[in-house]
Structure 1
Amino acid sequence: MSDSEFPLVQFMREGFDPVAELARIRTEQPVFPMEIPGGQTVYLVTRYEDVRAVLADHERFSNDFGNVIGLGSNQEDPGGLGFRDPPEHTRLRKYLTPEFTVRRLRRMEPRIEVLVEEYLDKMEAKGSPVDLVESFALPIPSLVVCELLGVPYEERADFLKISTNRFDFTAGPEASLQAINDAMAYLTDLVARERENPGEGLLGQLLRDHGDDLDDRTLASMADGLLTGGHDTSTSMLSLGTLWLLNNPEQADRVRADDSYTEQVVEELLRYMTVVQVAFPRFAREDLELLGQKINKGELVLCSLTAANRDPALGEGMDEVRPERPVAGTHLAFGHGIHRCIGAPLAQMEMRIAFPALLRRFPGLRVADEVPFRKLAIVYGVEKLPVAW
């Protein structure tokens, strides 16, 4: 690999695995300086403990979107909490946190089970073969977000199109930007309607409890962040996890038979796949030193979640899937610190329901053709997953 490719190494994989160069960097220079177009230097952090330390340190590192566009910190967040710093991040997250406790989310479990069965019915009716991404892994997360937010049933088909277009980058950046604008326009209108007549979903609950503290645009931005964080990531995990299970039939049989084992498999697959390859960018608030590397105020630090979750310091065989490994609560697939993904319990619930339901419905499910993996993706996954039964 040439020096010119180093700025891309954190996004490159070979099948399920990060490229070997990433492991070499983690061993030889765990805070790795890279020059990106424009002459700016960014620093790639790769070891597990160092990544945890950076992600937990919001005193020395900023997530503020103003750093990205070179403007002041009063610029509007592009969606969600990932580009906000305390105290604004703290203020907004406290509104969402009660809605994402395991106890509160259990009320969604029956609805997720129904959604999964509905789409398995559609797959069965369509007949073999199908693209599992299009037929199952893509719509399920979007409709779970619909259920969470309280999108009216009659609008869910249109919302599914909007959210799917949001993550379709094949038509170029202008089309992607238009899809983002369409999503924000819909969500802003939905918030306005919910303010008039709050429903039973998350938006209605937030408006009942905190309506005087949240304006429509801020609440729509928070909803958009939940869509961004919970859609493409869950689609990728459902696709990659299914592919791994189909390649490992003994493990698939155990998932069909044992729900408690499924929970172990889900946690280990989250670590192993690490579909979000790098955390939200951090910017140095001050001149500092990290493992002997001097970093100037304002310079960008990227944390490789992929490299961290495969760090041999965590134990033996980290490049293998070992479901018996006690990784729950330790892996960094959802990030770490104050910016850890707030929707993690919901994503885990989706997978615990979807994997065994899919495998039980189609016991003869198999990969039907070559599987194209994404290239240079922040969120890793497959372009399609042709399956037959």
Structure 2
Amino acid sequence: MTSSPPVPALPVERAPGRPFDPPEGLAELRTRSPLTRMAYPDGHVGWLATSHTLTREVLADPRFSARAELRHAPIPGVAAADRPRPAPPGSFTAMDPPEHTRYRRLLTGQFTVRRVRRLTERIEEVTAEHLDAMDRHGPTVDLVEAYAHPIPAQVVCELLGVPYADRARFQQHAMDLFRLGSSTEEMMAAYAAVHGFVHELVLAKRAAPTDDVLSGLTATDLTDEELVNIGFTLLGAGLDTTANMVALSVFALLRHPEQLAALRADPSLTDHAIEELLRYLSIIPFTIRVALEDVELAGVLVKAGESVTVSIPAANRDPERFADPDTLDLSRPAGGHVAFGHGIHQCLGQQLARVELRVALPALLDRFPSLRLAVAPDEVAMRTDMLIYGVHRLPVDWDR
């Protein structure tokens, strides 16, 4: 395998008419080998992992690093700088222990039972408010704008103590950070704008703390720079991911009416349904690790310094782990998927995201039993230009 020419790039193109399936070519690569040589846009030659077993192995192995300055991006437009630099203080997702451990422990301590319970109640209230607004507006609406985006946006604003009215200040800039076609200059400008916004917020929390995660962290020994970068990370992670899961899940359910009918008939399927949708849709395309030393993996030698890109969609569609993986089956015990990653970097906010999905999806389906697409399926604008997959708009209507 090491003598074969490397795959020229990470597959990103999706088959026409199959918006819920992973990019073409991933399944074929996985069938040939779970670990494939791959050329990176900057000239680096590393690896692509496509199996479920190998994905979990790489993400759990401390010999593979998440450090920003070591990684090579598998597609153009992911990194704003030509030469990767060490993660700034507080950017814990791009760090290894012990730095990562310290930040993670401080953040975990902020997700108290009381706070999560209060956020759950707020999710229910916010969801009801937006359903009422949709009902008053009447069909047709863009579900992304009217429902999928504002719910997690308000939740993450309340989690961090951001005034919801200020969300427009960072919303568009955050979108620029995730847009694959953004130039280096555009991404740097967007980064600076969001960074500046969060810095203002940190100074305000220092001066007058409120009951939120960012205020709680001001009582620790974290510096302003660390707080800004933690807030930046949480804001980016919580704003776009859940919104796209909500909208894309609704699109998938409307395109699989038998599964939607089963969920309506048996609400006890909800937890299975959420996990299956997370597995089936896999909106995060990849994550990256770098070998800190020579590691034998899948029968080949991964040399120190080589990047390994892990394909989340390929791992979650691996037939060795999930029977009939390309079928959406809401009754499937889908535990073990890697939609939230795996290992010490597994998504910190995964339980909050699950709560948002458990509340938002059933509430929408209950409120509008006749919910349907207002356009032809192939007219739905997919986010093929964004790092986080989903839909740009989802026009829906229903019977009054």
Which residue does 2:325 correspond to in 1? 318
Q: 1:176, CA displacement in angstroms?
A: 4.1
Counting only pairs closer than 5 Å after superposition, residues 17-56 of structure 1 correspond to structure 2 as: 17-56=21-60
Change (3 A) 1:163 1:355: same
Q: What CA distance in whole angstroms lies between the structure 2 residues aligned with 1:102 and 1:51? A: 31
Moved more, 174-183 or 49-58: 174-183
State percent identity of aligned pairs: 42
Query: In structure 2, the residue corresponding to 1:167 is in which secondary structure?
Result: helix
1:107 is the counterpart of 2:107: no
Which residue does 1:61 correspond to in 2? 64
Q: 1:128, CA displacement in angstroms?
A: 1.7
1:347 is the counterpart of 2:353: yes
Change (3 A) 1:106 1:191: same
1:164-189 deviation per Cα after TM superposition (whole angstroms, max 9, x unaligned): 43114398434443233222112111
Moved more, 130-139 or 342-351: 130-139
Q: Quick check: 2:283–2:388 contact (8 Å CA) kept in 1?
A: yes
Query: In structure 2, the residue corresponding to 1:18 is in which secondary structure?
Result: coil
1:288-331 deviation per Cα after TM superposition (whole angstroms, max 9, x unaligned): 33223332221211001111111111132111122222223x11
Letter in 1 for 2:52: Y
Change (3 A) 1:245 1:50: same
Query: In structure 1, the residue corresponding to 2:97 is in which secondary structure?
Result: coil
1:368 is the counterpart of 2:374: yes
Q: 1:383, CA displacement in angstroms?
A: 2.1
Which residue does 1:379 correspond to in 2? 388
Residue of structure 1 aligned with 2:279, choices 271, 275, 286: 271
Q: 1:257, CA displacement in angstroms?
A: 5.8
Change (3 A) 1:296 1:11: farther
Q: What CA distance in whole angstroms lies between the structure 1 residues aligned with 2:265 and 2:125? A: 20
The alignment's C-alpha RMSD in Å is: 2.4
Q: Quick check: 2:10–2:38 contact (8 Å CA) kept in 1?
A: no
Q: Quick check: 2:88–2:229 contact (8 Å CA) kept in 1?
A: no
Change (3 A) 1:11 1:142: farther
> What is the total number of aligned residue pairs between the two structures?
376
1:250-283 deviation per Cα after TM superposition (whole angstroms, max 9, x unaligned): 433454465432221111100111111112x111
Q: 1:332, CA displacement in angstroms?
A: 0.3
Query: In structure 2, the residue corresponding to 1:9 is in which secondary structure?
Result: coil
1:76 is the counterpart of 2:88: yes
Change (3 A) 1:323 1:72: closer
Q: Quick check: 1:80–1:226 contact (8 Å CA) kept in 2?
A: no
Q: What CA distance in whole angstroms lies between the structure 2 residues aligned with 1:6 and 1:124? A: 49
Residue of structure 2 aligned with 1:158, choices 119, 143, 166: 166
Which residue does 2:79 correspond to in 1? none
Q: TM-score, normalised to structure 2's length?
A: 0.87
Q: What CA distance in whole angstroms lies between the structure 1 residues aligned with 2:6 and 2:290? A: 23
Q: Quick check: 2:6–2:45 contact (8 Å CA) kept in 1?
A: no
More helix by share: 1
Q: What CA distance in whole angstroms lies between the structure 2 residues aligned with 1:56 and 1:343? A: 19
Letter in 1 for 2:109: P
Q: Quick check: 1:371–1:382 contact (8 Å CA) kept in 2?
A: yes
Change (3 A) 1:302 1:5: closer
Q: Which runs of 5+ in 2 are unaligned?
A: 72-81
Q: TM-score, normalised to structure 1's length?
A: 0.89
Change (3 A) 1:315 1:257: closer
Q: Which runs of 5+ in 1 are unaligned?
A: none
Which residue does 1:129 correspond to in 2? 140
